[in-house]
Structure 1
Amino acid sequence: LVVRRIPDLRPPKDQGQGQGTLFDIWRFHAFFTTTDPDDLDTVAADKTHRQHAIVEQVHADLKNSALAHLPSNSFSANAAWLVCAVMAFNVTRAAGTLTADPKLTKATTGTLRRTIVSVPARIACSARRLTLHLPTDWPWETAWNNLFDSTFGRNQSIIT
């Protein structure tokens, strides 16, 4: 049994009183491991467990998007769907990273679809240059422009 102590960063409910807390508040997270202590010490087991938690978040994200709609009872069709879902997940994550927006770098697939994939815009080509026409006062304009510039290069020719 490994128990990790985590500081509780949630703000107290009585912030308006003007008096801070008397003691620091901690949350405790416990997990079991069957690894031999000679092979893996407590710190290494905690690090391995945290990596497992990251993988679980990826699984949850995939289940909330493409894996929620597996097409058939055919193993081959589902295997192909899984490959396409993972490729789309990786491309979406890369696009979120290329926006250089800290909120979108760690956002879920659903958030990335709503903010940078479903864009009410149009792309125009003039004088071998791409121009993106976004709506006025669109909140994700900077992030989308960063993604567009890093992917296509706004001043590069589209015909080689």
Structure 2
Amino acid sequence: MLIRDATAEDWPAIWPFFHDIVAAGETYTYPLDLGEDDARSWWLLTRPNRTVVAVGDDGTILGTAKMNNNHMGNGSHIASASYMVDPRYSGQGVGRALCVHTLDWARSSGFRAMQFNAVVETNTHAVRLYRSLGFEILGTLPEGFRHPAHGFVGLHVMYRRL
């Protein structure tokens, strides 16, 4: 699998699975009715931040990640990232490859750590992946997320020194 910078031409392939993931309301704090134009502007970042796609051997976009500074000013030395994998390619290492790529980017860009602000505690696959890559749960906001099936569940803040 190739991971490369995302382009505007990639958006039509990203949008269908991005939309489905957001509309499901299980893993992101985005509005469930997020429109395509807002989604594109929120996801396709410009430098110094970055958005990438994971591409299969046949050119199919398997997933995407955006990476950025978590805060501005005196907090801008901490990176953050978000990931979306097309559910058709779940369990094939796409998420892990994207996460490793973002960690490498953050390290080479001079960030001191990476922090995820809102990992839904019921997103056990993501929590397990992040922990396997050295992230720790710093704390959990109780009932910080309204899950469509599980009701109010916690949001983890996860952190990894680079």
Question: Normalising by structure 1, what TM-score?
Answer: 0.25
Larger helix fraction of residues: 1
Bigger radius of gyration among the two: 1
Return the structure number with greater relative CO, CA threshold 8 A, min gap 6. 2
